[in-house]
């Protein structure tokens, strides 16, 4: 008996599957004329979700054997030799055992479309916001951060192919690429080619805009309303689809990618090797190029999505049926603060764009304002900055699920809020050259680099280690090898090495020094005396955690720091230095200002010219009043005599008082009672 040909189209999701499935349903009769069956069994919404759902179950007791028997019966009754099954959910199968039954009667060929990972993640997010069963109400950055392992697992094509390769072999897997450059004849012609047909029949071609991604404003609008019922959600999605098409038409050239070029490069870098392996192994490409579109340029014009404003929300709402008015009024009231914040950011964006032509400059200037800190997404155990993930070590626990795909961050929200307040007072401060002491894992380097965007950021740490893979990827994917340098196994009191690093890395004075290293009085003071002279006038020296001497746990006798000199001593000395007129010129002090916050102290470099910076010692700039001393013995005797005279005068006044006479009578009476003769 001649075996059947079973073409199993397994997706992936967001690779034109909805359009392909609509095409197969619309052309069932034409396909039948050519000996191809698109079965009705398990069909739901044009796809075989009834069958693919069964492959998500990993126990035989859960299989609906009746449905598979029904499918086999339909195939036998049709007499067709070529069968097509299509469902993107086949790609997330946990078992394929039910298909092994069909393999006894048919040659099974797997058809899978792959889409570049950066586009796939964004498109999947958009779909999860729209999908009634998921209805996400978080931003794309929050979505990726919260589900980072599942997201990365989902777009790891090598792993996705592994199960199918195990049972069906390379020769029965047809890998297709969902990319404009490689779909030269369109998605329908490409799919027909994968099942050994040609586009030489007058097929009905459905609108390829089926299940098209929403405009970002519409996606955000839907996200904000995603707490409505399933029925309401489906109706709202239907209406918003038309509005999204209108907005996309009005702005055909507007960049609508939610992920930055740098974030997209990071994603592609992660899968570069596995994509190359797939290209060579499954497609026999000697150049190992899976996707033809070039990677995004990290400097290409891109504007971050700044969120919905109240006006934009009202514009979309006005296009909807009036039945939504009560719901949308509630949603608007709940998000007025967010709308106002987004409006302010948009205004700043417009002003900056007017002053600067290049989008990259505009983006940096937007992030330098106070609202930059408001964009930080704080959760219990993590902080999310755009596409970067920071694990908060103060809240570390065994529930952490993201492995090492993150920065380690030893800074709390309370501390960063203080920084936001401080930098809000200095909105024009620029730090082109930064020297940081105490890196731990590099998280603070990335954090401050994202804020200041300096020309050079150098960090040192006492630990004997190397950059973490996540930090290495951050630097490499952004091509920051020349702007970020780390020196491990470097002691903050190694004066010679500190000066050598400065001379090697910087060609001009420092703008900012951040000391989050040992927190020891002597060690920190040594570093200060080396690096503070290297600051430009107006440069800032930040010392973190100066209050540890007052923390309860550090005051216990068994604590190793109990006997250490409190860090506060250095802050006292810095304040004393401000009050010392060493420079003899108030317009050119050594220290022009000190700002003390609970989490850190900021020392501003004055214009005083140190003739020999290498010999600088803080104590030389502190003068204290001596303890009071008597100028002569005569003065001492005079003061003592005056005190004695005052004592004698007081005694005479007491003896002349009535109280004194009563006391004398009492003593006389007491002596009488004791049998002594009273004195006359």
Q: Which residue has the higher pLDDT, 70 or 649?
A: 70
Q: Which of 120-134, 208-222, 243-257, 285-299 has the highest mean pLDDT?
A: 285-299
Q: Does residue 189 have a pLDDT over 90?
A: yes
Q: Does residue 337 have a pLDDT over 70?
A: no
Which pLDDT value is given to residue 530?
96
Which pLDDT value is given to residue 549?
80
Backbone angles phi, psi at 38, to 5 degrees: -110, 95
* Averaged confidence pLDDT in the chain: 82
Please report how the helices 187-194 and 17-26 are oriented relative to each other, as an axis angle in degrees rounded to 10: 70
Which pLDDT value is given to residue 365?
42
Let me know if residue 362 belongs to a domain: no
Same domain (yes/no): 651, 614: no
Which pLDDT value is given to residue 582?
54
Same domain (yes/no): 537, 668: no
Q: Quick: pLDDT tens for 511-536.
A: 999 999 998 999 999 999 999 999 99
Same domain (yes/no): 37, 124: yes
- Find the range with the poorest average confidence among 485-494, 539-548, 549-558, 587-596: 549-558
Which of 279, 296, 312 lies at the terminal end of a domain, its last residue?
279
What's the whole-number mean pLDDT along residues 199-228?
A: 78
pTM of the predicted structure, to 2 decimals: 0.57
Q: Does residue 255 have a pLDDT over 70?
A: no
Same domain (yes/no): 482, 410: yes
DSSP tag of 678: P
Which pLDDT value is given to residue 281?
96
Structure tokens at 237: 């999605």
Which of 261, 279, 297 lies at the terminal end of a domain, its last residue?
279
Q: Which residue has the higher pLDDT, 320 or 32?
A: 32
| Secondary structure of residue 201 in the 3-state scheme | coil
Of 383, 416, 421, the C-alpha closest to 402 is 383
Which pLDDT value is given to residue 570?
92
Say how far apart CA 569 and CA 619 lie, in whole Å: 12
- 424 Cβ partners below 8 Å, 6+ apart? 370
Residues in the chain: 680
| Secondary structure of residue 52 in the 3-state scheme | helix
First-to-last alpha carbon distance for the chain, in angstroms, is 153
- Find the range with the poorest average confidence among 112-121, 409-418, 492-501, 668-677: 668-677
The secondary structure of 523-548 as a DSSP string is HHHHHHHHHGGGEEEEEEEEEE-TTG
Which pLDDT value is given to residue 59?
47
Q: Which residue has the higher pLDDT, 518 or 306?
A: 518
Q: Does residue 419 have a pLDDT over 80?
A: yes
Let me know if residue 101 belongs to a domain: yes
Which pLDDT value is given to residue 485?
96
DSSP tag of 62: G
| Secondary structure of residue 8 in the 3-state scheme | strand
Let me know if residue 41 belongs to a domain: yes
Which pLDDT value is given to residue 636?
66
Which pLDDT value is given to residue 366?
41
Same domain (yes/no): 637, 617: no
Tell me, what CATH number does 513's domain have? Answer: 3.40.50.150
Beta bridge partners of 486: 459
Q: Quick: pLDDT tens for 540-580.
A: 999 999 888 877 777 777 777 777 888 889 999 998 888 77
Say how far apart CA 211 and CA 662 lie, in whole Å: 111
Same domain (yes/no): 52, 166: yes
Which pLDDT value is given to residue 175?
97
Which of 255, 279, 303 lies at the terminal end of a domain, its last residue?
279
DSSP tag of 82: E
Same domain (yes/no): 437, 574: yes
Tell me, what CATH number does 18's domain have? Answer: 3.40.50.300
Query: What percent of the chain stands above pLDDT 70?
Result: 82
Same domain (yes/no): 553, 663: no
Q: Tell me how far the alpha carbon of residue 382 is from its chain's centroid.
A: 8
The order of strands in the sheet holding 456-460 is 484-487, 456-460, 433-437, 510-515, 535-544, 600-605, 591-596
- 535 Cβ partners below 8 Å, 6+ apart? 509, 510, 511, 513, 541, 605
Angle among Cα 133, 136, 141 to the nearest 5 degrees reads: 145
What is the b/e burial string over 194-223, where b = at least 16 CB atoms within 10 angstroms of the residue's CB? bbebeeeeebebbebeebbbbbbbbbbbbb
Of 68, 412, 34, the C-alpha closest to 192 is 34
Which pLDDT value is given to residue 174?
97
Which pLDDT value is given to residue 587?
66
Same domain (yes/no): 534, 638: no
Structural domain of 142: 4-213+272-279
The order of strands in the sheet holding 82-86 is 36-37, 82-86, 4-9, 106-114, 173-177
Let me know if residue 334 belongs to a domain: no
Which pLDDT value is given to residue 622?
86
Q: Does residue 539 have a pLDDT over 50?
A: yes
Say how far apart CA 157 and CA 477 lie, in whole Å: 21
| Secondary structure of residue 408 in the 3-state scheme | strand
Domain count, the chain: 3
Q: Which residue has the higher pLDDT, 252 or 385?
A: 385
Let me know if residue 81 belongs to a domain: yes
Structure tokens at 441: 């894992």
Q: Does residue 666 have a pLDDT over 50?
A: yes
Q: Does residue 387 have a pLDDT over 70?
A: yes
Which pLDDT value is given to residue 64?
59
By CB neighbour count within 10 A (0-12 exposed, 13-18 middle, 19+ buried), where does 313 fall? buried
Kind of pairing, strands 535-544 and 510-515? Answer: parallel
CB 199 within 8 A of CB 188: yes
Same domain (yes/no): 412, 558: yes
DSSP tag of 554: G
Count Cβ atoms below 10 Å from residue 308 Cβ, excluding itself: 24
Of 566, 524, 521, the C-alpha closest to 542 is 524
Let me know if residue 266 belongs to a domain: no
Q: Which residue has the higher pLDDT, 135 or 95?
A: 95
Q: Does residue 635 have a pLDDT over 60?
A: yes
Same domain (yes/no): 495, 558: yes
Let me know if residue 252 belongs to a domain: no
Which pLDDT value is given to residue 628?
56
CB 240 within 8 A of CB 218: yes
| 601 Ramachandran zone, left/alpha/beta (phi>0; psi -120 to 50) | beta
Say how far apart CA 172 and CA 207 lie, in whole Å: 30
Same domain (yes/no): 137, 15: yes
Q: Does residue 282 have a pLDDT over 80?
A: yes
Please report, to the nearest 10 degrees, the dihedral formed by the alpha carbons of residues 561, 564, 565, 567 taken in order. Answer: -30
By CB neighbour count within 10 A (0-12 exposed, 13-18 middle, 19+ buried), where does 536 fall? middle
What's the whole-number mean pLDDT along residues 437-450?
A: 92
Cis peptide before 12 (omega within 30 of 0): yes
User: What are the residue ranges of helices labelled H in 411-542?
Assistant: 413-424, 443-452, 469-477, 495-505, 521-531
Which pLDDT value is given to residue 605?
92
Let me know if residue 329 belongs to a domain: no
Beta bridge partners of 653: none
Residue 351's pLDDT band, with cuts at 50, 70 and 90, is very low
Which pLDDT value is given to residue 556?
78
């Amino acid at each position: 008996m001649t075996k059947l040909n079973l073409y199993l189209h397994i997706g992936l999701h967001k690779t034109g599957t909805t359009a392909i499935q609509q095409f197969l349903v619309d052309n069932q009769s034409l396909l039948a004329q050519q000996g191809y069956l698109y079965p009705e069994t398990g069909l739901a919404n044009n796809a075989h979700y009834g069958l693919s759902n069964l492959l998500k179950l990993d126990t035989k007791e859960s299989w609906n054997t009746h449905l598979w028997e029904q499918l086999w019966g339909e195939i036998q009754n049709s007499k067709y030799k070529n069968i097509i099954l299509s469902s993107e959910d086949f790609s997330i199968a946990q078992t394929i055992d039910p298909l092994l039954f069909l393999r006894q009667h048919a040659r099974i060929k797997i058809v899978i479309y792959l889409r570049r990972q950066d586009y796939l993640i964004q498109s999947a997010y958009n779909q999860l916001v729209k999908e009634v069963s998921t209805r996400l109400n978080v931003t794309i950055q929050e979505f990726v951060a919260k589900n980072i392992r599942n997201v990365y697992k989902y777009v790891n094509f090598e792993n996705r192919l592994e199960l199918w390769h195990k049972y069906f072999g390379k020769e029965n897997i047809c890998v297709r690429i969902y990319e404009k450059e490689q779909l030269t004849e369109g998605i329908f012609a490409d799919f027909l080619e994968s099942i050994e047909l040609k586009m030489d029949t007058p097929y009905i071609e459905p609108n390829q805009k089926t299940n098209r991604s929403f405009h970002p404003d519409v996606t955000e609008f839907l996200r904000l309303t995603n707490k409505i019922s399933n029925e309401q959600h489906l109706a709202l999605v239907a209406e918003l689809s038309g509005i999204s098409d209108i907005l996309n038409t009005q702005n055909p050239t507007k960049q609508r990618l939610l992920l930055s070029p740098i974030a997209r490069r990071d994603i592609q870098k992660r899968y570069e090797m596995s994509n190359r392996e797939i290209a060579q192994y499954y497609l026999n490409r000697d150049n190992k190029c899976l996707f033809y579109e070039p990677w995004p340029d990290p400097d290409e014009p891109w504007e971050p999505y700044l969120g919905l404003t109240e006006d934009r929300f009202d514009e979309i709402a006005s296009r909807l049926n009036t039945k939504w008015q009560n719901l949308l009024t509630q949603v608007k009231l709940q998000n007025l603060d967010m709308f106002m914040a987004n409006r302010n950011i948009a205004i700043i964006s417009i002003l900056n764009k007017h002053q600067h032509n290049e989008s990259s400059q505009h983006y940096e200037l937007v992030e330098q304002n106070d609202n930059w800190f408001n964009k930080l997404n704080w959760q219990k155990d993590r902080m999310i900055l755009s596409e970067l993930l920071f694990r908060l070590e103060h809240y570390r626990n065994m529930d952490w699920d993201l492995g090492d795909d993150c920065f380690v961050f030893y800074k709390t929200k309370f501390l960063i809020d203080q920084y936001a307040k401080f930098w809000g007072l200095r909105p024009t401060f620029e730090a082109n050259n930064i020297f940081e002491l105490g890196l731990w894992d590099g998280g603070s380097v990335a954090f401050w680099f994202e804020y200041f965007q300096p020309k050079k950021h150098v960090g040192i740490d006492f630990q004997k280690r190397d950059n973490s893979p996540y930090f290495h990827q951050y630097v490499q994917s952004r091509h920051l090898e020349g702007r970020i340098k780390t020196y491990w196994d470097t002691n903050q009191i190694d004066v010679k090495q500190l000066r050598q690093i400065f001379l090697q890395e910087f060609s001009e004075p420092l703008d900012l020094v951040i000391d989050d290293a040992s927190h020891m009085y002597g060690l920190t003071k040594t570093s200060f005396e080396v690096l503070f002279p290297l600051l430009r006038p107006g440069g800032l020296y930040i010392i973190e955690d100066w209050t540890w001497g007052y923390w309860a746990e550090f005051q216990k006798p068994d604590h190793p720091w109990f006997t250490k000199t409190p860090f506060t001593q250095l802050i006292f000395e810095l304040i004393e230095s401000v009050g010392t007129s060493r420079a003899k010129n108030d317009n050119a002090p050594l220290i022009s200002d000190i700002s003390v916050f609970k989490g850190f102290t900021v020392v501003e470099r004055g214009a005083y010219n140190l003739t020999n910076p290498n010999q600088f010692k803080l104590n030389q700039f502190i003068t204290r009043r001596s303890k009071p001393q008597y100028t002569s013995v005569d003065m001492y005797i005079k003061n003592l005599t005056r005190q004695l005279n005052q004592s004698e005068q007081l005694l005479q006044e007491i003896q002349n008082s009535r109280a004194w006479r009563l006391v004398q009578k009492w003593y006389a009476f007491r002596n009488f009672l004791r049998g002594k003769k009273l004195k006359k």
